[in-house]
Amino acid sequence: MKIDADRLLSDLHRLREFGKEGSGVVRPAFSGPDIAAREWLAEKMREAELEPNFDPAGNLFGLPSVDEPCLLMGSHSDSQPEGGWLDGAYGVIAALEVSRAARGKVPVAVVSFQDEEGRFGALTGSNVWSGGIKLETADKLTALSGETFAEARARMVHLVRDDFVEAERFSGFIEAHIEQGPWLDKAGEAVAVVESIVGVGRMQVTYQGEQNHAGTTPMIYRRDAFQGLAEFNQRLNAALVPVVTESTVWTIGHVEISPGAPSIVPGRAVFSVQWRDSDPERLELMAKIVVETAEAVAAERGLVCTLEPGIPVAPRQFDERLCTALATAAERKAPKRWRRMTSGAMHDATNVARVMPSAMLFVPSIAGISHSFEEDTAEADLVTGAEVLLEAVGQIGLN
Amino acid sequence: MKIDADRLLSDLHRLREFGKEGSGVVRPAFSGPDIAAREWLAEKMREAELEPNFDPAGNLFGLPSVDEPCLLMGSHSDSQPEGGWLDGAYGVIAALEVSRAARGKVPVAVVSFQDEEGRFGALTGSNVWSGGIKLETADKLTALSGETFAEARARMVHLVRDDFVEAERFSGFIEAHIEQGPWLDKAGEAVAVVESIVGVGRMQVTYQGEQNHAGTTPMIYRRDAFQGLAEFNQRLNAALVPVVTESTVWTIGHVEISPGAPSIVPGRAVFSVQWRDSDPERLELMAKIVVETAEAVAAERGLVCTLEPGIPVAPRQFDERLCTALATAAERKAPKRWRRMTSGAMHDATNVARVMPSAMLFVPSIAGISHSFEEDTAEADLVTGAEVLLEAVGQIGLN
């Protein structure tokens, strides 16, 4: 069994064409480029003798014709609003290549989950598929554009032949992914075996103040929603310092200030707060601090505060047998150039681990950059990653 | 000479229909509703025996047929993106009513300046007309939508018959306006004679950091543009405290965070800073503090800082003879229920004062609210304002 490096890289570059924008991709879930990319993937699956199967949530499975449960590998092919070319895409194409390379020896199913990047909620496709959320509940999730998940998935309904693929068809799940952080690149290492994933808490905060004239409203009478946000941010940072570790992260990434004119005191601020840690207790404590800080600032400044908690994701431990297989394969294919680590990013494997043994493999991200057009990985590392996967598949499947 | 209160209010409500949105108006400069409103105004001028004249900047003058220089009155009929129904509109319709009431005794020309609300720069129409900025320079000013002033005014070019009306046709300018602040309403007063207008400084700041994954980028490696903005805001507030008076104001009203997703560390923040004061030295000192603070925060956080200063407006003293006439009229029509004050808002009179004696009259804003759909003024105050104007016109014109 041998990885065809040219075929792997050529398919990766072909997938990059869907929604290509400079060196990155704009291929958000259910967009035209996303659906076109999935139709192309289905065709590649067919060529690899995998039966393509779109499910009602927009997930695409490629199924080998076998009677026994087989390994499932893959990731997602939707992107961030301004995404890199490898985020998700690498795991899907690496899985396809491993399935082709192992064909006839070890059957490997391939999947591209839908809306991993969370236009609607978070990791929506794998969450629905693994029973984390009901389809009817997901249908009410709304993107920032105002579109619901139900409306979005209706655009793919013509591709669905069957219902959801049953989890019982698979014996385990391995997801390859770019690290999206700096550690492998800084250390010059080729791969990482991911033993666990941090949990995520999230909150959307709305501060409603009073929109008014920026020249005639004295500072002491203002109820400025942007000032509320800026102070919330500073106080949250200060309140979290004694609570966090060096791997804890938190982010205010989405901010809308209304009406948004230089001469008007902002009447409304809507913003996201997101925090990640591997310790469930710390996640809960952080949630409490977010809520208390948001409400305290609002009360002091005469703002009306509305809090809309997002669906939290619990930290996840991966399957030790699969991790050991990946570690053994890593030591063979990249001796002394690999590590075990925790993932700071959410991945579909977090959800899939609910229903079967799961694990992940990381390849390096140059300078740790991801969720950005600049995201990239050295070709040699992309190939080594696939070789490690195939080596692990050999061990797992032939044992 | 007598104000027709019903005619005044009915015309005000008719003008409100153009771009009406709830209780407010959406009638930004050169929008469809703005141009339609100006065409309606031209018709009302004709009915009042005023010759309508659109100039190349989109300003609309109504000219009585007289040989000697006459008084000019008016304001603007364009609105903020989400504007109140009286901001500008009151001054235009009050001028129209005064011109009608004084007809045959004192000739009064009427004007509605264009883009007072600064889609392109600031007070653009009156600035061009009074020689503060050349038309060719204004043509390059760009709205947040990306449209230039040249492109916008091309939509009104079919209405222009002549060139700019000459300032020498007018002996002085009086602009009536809602106060847009809380002072008259809090004191239960009917009008204010405006002796001066504060100056305005403005800056657009861009912080370019590094867009990255919000789960995998450790806090210490982030170059988060939103965090830069939040810290700039807090440090600016602290730095201004020892410098300002209780009437000084400053505002961050326009904020854009890119790419704007909850799971991405913001790579870019673009925001406006605006400050107002009646003391030219304080305005300059504030400008220096804005620049130093923006650059210091950027340097400390590894952000690239780009500063684009907006066109500053100098503080302006109004004509004492016109102010005295307004004060005498105010004491007659609203005895002990008026004051002299400084305006915290910019007005077209700031520009017109360059080329002729000018003054302003304020009527109250309920709860001080303006630049908002909730903006309103008691009908009795709207009528009293017009009566004070007419009384002053009588004194000035008949002396």
Flag whether residue A241 sits within 8 Å of chain B, measured between CB atoms: no
Q: Which amino acid is at A136?
A: E
Provide the number of CB pairs (under 8 Å) joining chain A to chain B. Answer: 230
Provide mean pLDDT across the span B289-311: 97
Name the pLDDT band for B313 (thresholds 50, 70, 90): confident
By CA distance, what is B273's nearest residue in A? A262
- Alpha carbon distance B68, B52 (integer Å): 18
The reported pLDDT for the residue numbered B339 is: 96
Average pLDDT, chain B: 95
CA dist A197 → A40, A210, A319, A337, B198 (Å): 30, 42, 12, 21, 56
Query: Which residues 192-211 in chain A show a CB within 8 A of chain B?
Result: 198, 200, 202, 210-211
| Residue B215, pLDDT above cutoff 70 | yes
Provide mean pLDDT across the span A274-292: 96
Angle at B242 between CA B238 and CA B248, to 5 degrees: 90
Optimal mutation site among B115, B120, B197, B212, interface A, most CBs of chain A within 10 A: B212
- Alpha carbon distance B6, A226 (integer Å): 41
- Alpha carbon distance B38, B64 (integer Å): 18
The reported pLDDT for the residue numbered B398 is: 65
| Residue A372, pLDDT above cutoff 70 | yes
Of B81, B215, B262, which is closest to A344 when you measure between CB atoms? B215
Span A191-228, pLDDT tens digits: 999 999 999 999 999 999 999 889 989 999 999 999 99
> What is the token pair recorded at A356?
């079967």
| Residue A230, pLDDT above cutoff 60 | yes
Strand partners, B340: B193
Q: Which amino acid is at B268?
A: R
Measured in angstroms, the CA of A372 and the nearest CA of chain B are apart by 6
Provide mean pLDDT across the span B332-348: 94
| Residue B311, pLDDT above cutoff 60 | yes
Of B80, B213, B220, which is closest to A371 when you measure between CB atoms? B213
Provide mean pLDDT across the span A317-321: 95
Provide mean pLDDT across the span A329-341: 96
| Residue A387, pLDDT above cutoff 60 | yes
Of residues A368 and A289, the one with the higher pLDDT is A289
Provide mean pLDDT across the span A263-273: 96
Name the pLDDT band for A235 (thresholds 50, 70, 90): very high
- Alpha carbon distance A304, A223 (integer Å): 10
Asked if B372 and A212 come within 8 Å (Cβ–Cβ), the reply is yes
Quick count: other Cβ atoms within 10 Å of Cβ A299?
11
Name the pLDDT band for A371 (thresholds 50, 70, 90): confident
Measured in angstroms, the CA of A67 and the nearest CA of chain B are apart by 39
CATH T-level assignment (fold) for domain B5-198+315-398: Aminopeptidase (3.40.630)
Report how far Cα A109 is from the mean position of its chain's Cα atoms: 20
At CB < 8 A and 24+ separation, what contacts does B127-131 make? Answer: B127/B351, B128/B57, B128/B59, B129/B55, B129/B57, B129/B59, B129/B164, B129/B165, B129/B167, B129/B351, B129/B352, B130/B167, B130/B351, B130/B352, B130/B354, B130/B355, B131/B354, B131/B355
Nearest to B78 by CA among B110, B45, B44, B125: B125
Domains B5-198+315-398 and B199-309 share a fold: no
Name the pLDDT band for A399 (thresholds 50, 70, 90): low
Asked if B260 and A253 come within 8 Å (Cβ–Cβ), the reply is yes
Provide mean pLDDT across the span B52-64: 97
Provide mean pLDDT across the span A28-33: 97
Provide mean pLDDT across the span B287-300: 98
Asked if B349 and B155 touch (Cβ cutoff 8 Å), the reply is: no
- Alpha carbon distance B100, B389 (integer Å): 12
Provide mean pLDDT across the span A34-45: 98
Query: Which residues 376-395 in chain A show a CB within 8 A of chain B?
Result: none
By CA distance, what is A225's nearest residue in B? B253
| Residue A388, pLDDT above cutoff 90 | yes
**Which residues on chain B are in Cβ contact (under 8 Å) with A80?**
259, 261, 263-264
- Alpha carbon distance B335, A168 (integer Å): 88
Provide mean pLDDT across the span A176-204: 95
Span B227-241, pLDDT tens digits: 999 999 999 999 999
Number of residues assigned to chain B: 399
Cα(first)–Cα(last) distance of chain B, in Å?
15
Name the pLDDT band for A38 (thresholds 50, 70, 90): very high
CATH number for the region A199-309 comes to: 3.30.70.360
- Alpha carbon distance B283, A298 (integer Å): 31
Q: Of the given ranges (A141-145, A176-180, A379-383, B361-365), which has the lowest mean pLDDT? A: A141-145
The reported pLDDT for the residue numbered A278 is: 87
Question: Is the pTM higher than 0.80?
Answer: no
**Which residues on chain B are in Cβ contact (under 8 Å) with A82?**
211, 259, 264
Name the pLDDT band for B370 (thresholds 50, 70, 90): confident
**Which residues on chain B are in Cβ contact (under 8 Å) with A81?**
259-261
**Which residues on chain B are in Cβ contact (under 8 Å) with A216?**
179-182, 343-345, 365, 368, 370
| Residue B399, pLDDT above cutoff 60 | no
The complex scores an ipTM of 0.74
Nearest to B61 by CA among B47, B75, B78, B79: B75
Domain boundaries, chain A: 5-198+315-398, 199-309
The reported pLDDT for the residue numbered B247 is: 84
**% of chain B exceeding 70 in pLDDT:** 99
The reported pLDDT for the residue numbered A216 is: 86
The b-or-e profile of B95-106 (16+ CB within 10 A means b, else e) is bbbbbbbbeeeb
The reported pLDDT for the residue numbered B397 is: 82
The reported pLDDT for the residue numbered B95 is: 98
- Alpha carbon distance A337, A333 (integer Å): 9
| Residue A311, pLDDT above cutoff 90 | no
**Which residues on chain B are in Cβ contact (under 8 Å) with A259?**
80-82
Nearest to B202 by CA among B286, B278, B87: B286
Flag whether residue A224 sits within 8 Å of chain B, measured between CB atoms: yes
Name the pLDDT band for B212 (thresholds 50, 70, 90): confident
- Alpha carbon distance A42, A22 (integer Å): 26
Asked if B249 and A214 come within 8 Å (Cβ–Cβ), the reply is yes
